[in-house]
A and B are shown apart, each in its own frame.
Chain A
Amino acid sequence: MVVSLHRENSLVKFFRWVYAGVDRTIFMGLKFTFPARFVSPLGFLGMLTFVIFIILGITGALLMLWYEPILDRAWDSVQNINDTIPYGFHIRNIHYHASNAMVMVAILHMYYQYFSGRYKIRNEILWVTGVILGVLTILEAFTGYDIIFSERAELAISIAASLTNSIPILGPQMRDAFFGSGFHDFVLRFYAFHVFFLPIALLGLMVVHFPRFLVFDVPMVMAVTGAIMLTGGVFPVDMGLKFDPSVPPGITVPEWYLTGLYAFLRTQFDKFVTGVAWPGLFIFALLVIPFVDKYKKFSWKDRPLITAVGITSLAQIIVTTYWGFYINPDRTKSLLERLVIDPIFFYLVMLLLVPLSFGFTYMMIKLAKNAEANAKLQPKKAGGKTAINLPKKWIYILFVVLLAFQVYLNISAYYAVLNGMKNYSLFIIGIIMLVFAGMFHIYRHGSAMAKAPPPKQTTFPSPAKPVPIPSPKPAPSIPKPTNEPLPAPPIQKSSGTQVATQTSQKTTTTTTTPASTSVLSNSKTDNTQNVVAEKSATELPKK
């Protein structure tokens, strides 16, 4: 493989040609990073959201081949997909669970950016477009489960349209313009919104929202995909009852990302205030956060007020989401009695959550700062990271075992489909994805080990005499002191020390990997500057 890549065959030439062409397009600003080792997914949750969006796009496009957005045929066509079309069950379940995953990952992404204060590094445009993207994502998911036109979908459409209607002055006109009149139009238009208007808006906003440096972590992407399929296998989504206007609907609860709003609606307070004004206020508050946050520092510990507001919002979201799900199980009571939430009790709880969350936040900050101070007093641990170092032989053995497992899983998935056990086969395919994630991780671990520079020396040799880094194989390594002065080093505010005169010494080993060429400084004053120099060396222009 390596050989063919180095030999510049026509395929490689073609790829290079394409790459050179792409360099002239808007994508030239984008830089993809494929991490060579495990990195925390918290940093690239946005990328994961996008990947799930792509999964939704593919499965959704396939579903479009069979779905019919017509009043009396919508539900039947979904049933057709689910029950008779081969792999329709799989596609539909992946689509459904991926929609939930996308909303969930988007929310996690937002809160991670919020608490880590990362909107300060990027800029406000990214945050604002992100919030709009989040709202559109929820609308996208909402319109999706409505066009099945089950009983629950009908009620959800009703609530959406009557909420639009409740907007003062322009409400009825807006409802007429966006939804048309009656359920025939509603289904058709929700479909149009779901497959075209909203995705196009999402894509357009993504162009603005994408930062230039993107992380594409294959194992994590495959793990998320696998988790979606696995969930689809364990909890396959049901069809619901076909909507029939002559049959009064039973109690239905919306999807989990809207039960919070549903709890507000169930207080039977004014429709516009509870269903439009409160969520609008919440979204507005999110939008203005980076403009309100005037703290100079990033960490949640250094921004107590903002953190407390975030914790309050989380607490309220969790409580209302649960409350929206909860319906008094006492069947002797009337439907209305079981559904209605006492507004005074409800709003009192909402208010009570504010001081509780603030107290919790300030307590946590205090504890965290104490822990930090204690950690500083303690002597530093040597080493720090403990990586699992598998010998090469065991990596190969593990690979073979996993490959055999993949073969076994493939066969079982196929037989599961043959025997009509659709959800079981989806479950197994989910496992296959997870195994692939594991395999890829092992592959990258192994190849990183092959390329890796020799284990780092924890104690530097005496600064006067630079020692070449020993290579793993006893190869003829000749240190070449070049002694050329470095260009002005990037300013390091953190260290404070001036890195004025440095000379680099390239230590080339016979292995051709770039990682093995490292630059050391022979500064005679301070060993800590080595770290700085090493950091800056990666940013130097090549000579």
Chain B
Amino acid sequence: MISIRHLAKQFAAPSTKRKGLAGVSLKRPPARFVQAVKDVSFDAPDGHITGLLGPNGAGKTTTLRMLAGLITPDAGSMAVDAIDVASRPREALARMGVLSDSRGLYPRLSARENIVYFGRLQGMSADAANARAENLAQMLEMTALLDRRTDGFSQGERMKTALARALVHDPANIILDEPTNGLDVLATRALRESLRWLRTPAGGSKCIVFSTHIMQEVERLCDSVVVVAHGRTVATGTVPSLLAQTGESDFEEAFVKLAFAEEIQAHEAAPELMR
């Protein structure tokens, strides 16, 4: 169970360089700020797959990084199973399995060693982490890979290893940042199957948050969708309810209406500027 309320974060942007000698001035140009996340709120219940859908640069990754405690938010609150992330980040992290945007593995360690290392850091015993690595390998169909060094793994093999690593401590909350990036159809399907199983009571009724910019993923997999654009939550609901809200029959059209409302309005107000 994850709930996020009115999250906001701005970054100091690298200043734009002036051309020629003017750019070599000793005076620092005034810092510019980019508001990456303005107001994001959503709830992700247990036994439920919540899709975080938004165009590139909408603030999805920043939101998930704040949830994982990597970035301190400027405003807003986040709670994981009623644990406040800001005040008790370690307890919150112990209840989360995060597959982040960067999912680098240690190339000189085997897949098993990569997975067990994270299990140990989560406080598991060596035996427990090992047993869990084998379980996960079965679920993700990667048993044959387990004792190979990850150097030379394919994109899909890396992804499976990174996912197993994130799930090694059997977290109640699973957060995946664009997990299907770079995966082929079969690997995507396999991942989808795994996530569906994790949602069921047999799989542990996990709370799964899944960020993506691919409509089909959301339509096929998610129980509910949170549309994020320009750093704000612009719509929340199931796929049919969002279709109904926008009066569209195609989900892509609905998404464009929801996510790019500002641009469409600007376009209608001053069409000649957009040409």
Q: Do the two chains belong together in a single complex?
A: no
